[in-house]
Amino acid sequence: MHQAIRAAQATGETLEATFLYATRQMEAGAHGEADALLSGFADKVASAASSWRFGESPARPAASIIVVSYKTVPGVEPAIAAIAGQARDENCEVILVDNGNPDLEAIGRRYLDGARMVKSPFQTGCSLGRDLGASFATAPYLIFVDDDGLIEPGFVAALLRAAAETGAIAVRGRVVPLTAGSPMAQHYDLGDRRAPAFINAEGASLWQRDAFRNAAGFHPLLAGHEGHDLCARLFRFHGPFAFFYEPSAVLRHDYADDAKGQAAKQARYDRNVAFVQSRSPDAWQIHFRIGALGREGRSAYLAAHHHAVPADAVATPVSILTTARNGAEWLADFTASWKAQTQADFQLVFVDDGSTDGTADRVEALWRGDDRLTLVRTAGGGRGAALNVALAHASHDICLIADVDDVSTPDRIIRTTEIFRKHPELDYLSFLAFNETDLLRIGSPRSPFLGDMNVRALFGMPASFPSFAFRKVRFSRPFDETLSGGIDCRWVKDNLAAEGVAGRLVHEPVVYYRRHDGQITTLHKERQQALRKEIIDWSFSRILGALSETDHQMIDALMLGAPLTKAQQAEIAGWVAGFLGRNDELGVFDRGELGAALLERLEPLTGRAPTRAEASDAQVRALRRIAEQHISEGEFKRARRALREALEVFEAKAIWRRLLSAHRYAIVRYFVKANPFRE
């Protein structure tokens, strides 16, 4: 026994020496060396730690509440007392990490029904202490609480509720001063509304346990900004709606005791920022953009309506189709994202199209022993031929496109199958993509109320192909094997024309879309643009028939940004009105979405509201029908938004009067008085 204790102490001393040396390297700016020294370090510390239980803990806890304490201070006892009641109410286990506080267990025994005690092998700092606690957690969620703060009633319940409602993998609470007059950090209180946000109040935060562990948790060297660092690493796997701020989860905590303490904290934070940027250069870019999501019209609407996948979602087997030539550098992330799917019932059809970098062998090694992989090696026939091969090997009707250089969020499959289950009339769908520069990536139209793929085809490729899903039985036309670019666009257009397939854009970001020089989009841009124009012209011809020179000029101006003469500017509103009226007669496109989409494109071209003469009866009818159709379906919010968008274009008093007086739905007469919805 004494030998074991001495061995543990020796191990702890060695670990501490490594930790202190890495800390000095970080402070000296040797970020790469400091980072390398602590690779896998948290696991080594957990192996050297000691752990035991006292009392009774829940058999299946909803969350593991983790408190790290490194010294005895007056605030620890009331902090544990407040946690104890909420742990009982919410069926949570408590993990107390003794990081140098000899009184922690005695305090815990006074207030808690039971807890796990963890003794760190040396004084580790807050981040490594939290990682240590997380390594012993048994619940699906981790909740970290500062030992010198005081959680308000409902804190734990609010974090759990926010995670359940949004599907977020991390949620932070609101922090307010514990002591009257205490200085307040700018990031502590983000307001009264739930919104996307990086987790920058780690001592009042919840994390999905598996996501936290898979990303190796907080970096041991960080005491401040560890949440930024971890969120930046998780972003490409989980997307911009993976992190939320919940204002009803309140922690009372003082930022610093005095001005001197503030200055010391700020100096440490400055060092942390430099270290985080060395590991994740885009961390602050992502942080600020996610923070802005709750403040901008379109993104705020999408954030407010983002929900977790329903608990009663039904799993349906799918086939994932991937083609690659020399994609070895992307395979680690690609594989991790598919193995992390919440729906495990899928087939991965991977067509290696003549790679010379070992892609096929690497895929085989990564999926060895997993019978979900169907690996096909071809001689290099090109993207179109490879996609046809993938289709031929697909075992299931629902197929998902997945490019090897992209990453899918863990809920992509279940979100896809659930939409197909609830909307059997759909033949295909697509989601939003995201990356560091565009968190909600989609082409025109960007409105969250325009999802009909037939309407979106008027703008070109109607959907993001890397996030595309379809029913194989409804897409009978093969991919064109002669094309070097625009293959997806031509395939969608051919099946629209031949099969009349119906699709929907779902405004949820589920695919991380990388940009790099080797992409087909980059290498064959001119061909892509030519095929985009092809699908645009075909879509308009469904109403107009053979396109005249004037039709081409108006279409190119609306959809491709081609310039117009002053005379054409005066004519385009009437041309759009005629097109809308013709669609009213033929019923090819959804009236409401078509009107809203074209009117959105019309305004910047005219630069003014149309005159009364230009505002024909067809235009007024189109405006009315946009809302009428949605209202008849009980979609009052969509009716309001669509009508507001349309009214941004038509400001002529005569049209307003006619809408207000003639609209047969009283609710619309009320809504048009409100300010127009703006992105």
423 and 504 in contact (C-beta within 8 Å)? yes
Asked which of 46-55, 127-136, 594-603 is least confident by mean pLDDT, the reply is 594-603
Cα gap 644→430, rounded to integer Å: 26
Residues 439 and 433: their CA atoms lie apart, in Å, by 8
d(CA 377, CA 380): 9
**Cα 28 to the chain's mean position, in Å?**
36
* pLDDT over threshold 60, residue 666: no
Other CB atoms within 10 Å distance of the CB of residue 519: 15
Average pLDDT over every residue of 649-670: 45
Q: Which two tokens stand for residue 77?
A: 């006892």
363-373 average pLDDT score = 97
51 strand-pairing partners: 118
Q: Which residues pair with 66 in a beta bridge?
A: 95, 144
Phi–psi pair at 269, nearest 5 degrees: -65, -40
The structure tokens 């659930």 sit at: 418
- Whether residue 341 contacts residue 317, with contact meaning beta carbons closer than 8 Å, is answered with no
- The answer to whether residues 173 and 251 touch, using CB atoms and an 8 Å cutoff, is yes
Instruction: Please give the single-letter amino acid code of residue 222.
Output: L
Predicted confidence band of residue 651 (pLDDT cuts 50, 70, 90)? very low
Same CATH fold, 309-528 and 40-148? yes
Task: Please check whether residue 195 is in contact with residue 245, taking contact to mean a CB–CB distance below 8 angstroms.
Answer: yes
Range of lowest pLDDT (45-49, 193-197, 294-298):
294-298
- Please say if the pLDDT value at position 2 is more than 50: no
What does the DSSP 8-state code read for residue 441? B
Q: Domain residues of the chain, as ranges?
A: 1-38, 40-148, 149-308, 309-528, 567-671
CA distances from 74 to 82, 143, 147 (A): 14, 22, 10
Q: Tell me 459's DSSP state.
A: G
Least confident segment among 228-242, 625-639, 652-666: 652-666
Predicted confidence (pLDDT) per residue in 434-449, tens digit: 999 999 998 888 888 8
Report percent pLDDT > 90 for the chain.
66
Give pLDDT, residue 611. 43
Strands 318-324 and 398-401: parallel
pLDDT at 668: 43
pTM: 0.85
Q: How many CB atoms lie within 10 A of CB 652?
A: 17
Does the structure show a pLDDT above 80 at 273?
yes
Q: Is omega for the bond preceding 153 within 30 degrees of 0, making it cis?
A: no
> Which burial class, exposed, middle or buried, applies to 67 when counting CB atoms under 10 A from its CB (0-12, 13-18, 19+)?
buried
Higher-pLDDT residue of 13, 187? 187
In this structure, which amino acid lies at residue 596? A
- What contacts 622, CB < 8 A, 6 or more positions away? 577, 580, 581, 584, 591, 594, 595, 646
The whole-number average pLDDT for the span 375-388 is: 96
What is the rounded CA–CA span in Å between residue 223 and residue 271? 10
> Residue 677: what pLDDT?
33
pLDDT at residue number 73: 85
For residue 612, pLDDT over 70 is answered with no
Interval 236-264 mean pLDDT = 85
- In the prediction, which pLDDT does 121 show? 94
99-113, 396-410, 554-568 — which is least confidently predicted? Answer: 554-568
Q: If we measure between CA atoms, which residue out of 334, 336, 475, 473 comes closest to residue 402?
A: 334
What local confidence, expressed as pLDDT, does residue 516 receive?
Answer: 67
Cα separations (Å) of 480 from 71, 354, 471, 493, 497?
69, 19, 19, 11, 15
Class at the top of the CATH hierarchy for domain 40-148? alpha beta
Burial class (CB in 10 A: 0-12, 13-18, 19+), 119: middle
Question: Is a pLDDT exceeding 80 seen at residue 629?
Answer: no
CA distance 615 to 620: 7
Give yes or no for residue 57 having a pLDDT over 70.
yes
| Beta carbons within 8 Å of 406's beta carbon, 6+ residues apart | 334, 433, 466, 511, 512, 513, 514
For residue 383, the model assigns a pLDDT of: 94
Would you state the pLDDT for residue 632? 67
Where residue 606 falls among pLDDT bands split at 50, 70, 90?
A: low
pLDDT of amino acid 637: 67
**Most confident range, picked from 11-20, 115-124, 297-306, 590-599:** 115-124
Q: How confident is the model at residue 674, as a pLDDT?
A: 40
pLDDT at 8 over 50: no
Which of 228-237, 239-248, 397-406, 663-672 is predicted with the least confidence, judged by mean pLDDT?
Answer: 663-672
pLDDT at 567: 83
Fold classification of 309-528 is: Spore Coat Polysaccharide Biosynthesis Protein SpsA; Chain A (3.90.550)
Sign of CA dihedral 177, 180, 183, 189: positive
- Rounded to an integer, the average pLDDT of 410-416 is 97
Q: What is the pLDDT of residues 563-603, one digit of tens each?
A: 888 888 888 888 988 898 899 899 999 888 888 888 778 77
Bigger pLDDT: 668 vs 394: 394
Q: What is the mean pLDDT of residues 98-105?
A: 95
The residue among 659 and 106 whose pLDDT is bigger is: 106
pLDDT, tens digit (0-9, with 9 covering 90-100), for 197-226:
999 999 999 999 999 999 999 999 998 899
**Rounded mean pLDDT, 534-557:** 94
CB-facing half-sphere around the CA of 586: CA atoms within 13 A: 15
pLDDT number for residue 426: 97
Alpha-carbon dihedral angle through residues 636, 642, 643, 645, given to the nearest 10 degrees: 150
For residue 613, the model assigns a pLDDT of 42
Mind giving me the DSSP string for 369-387?
A: T-TTEEEEEE----HHHHH
Please give the residue that has the higher pLDDT: either 669 or 181: 181
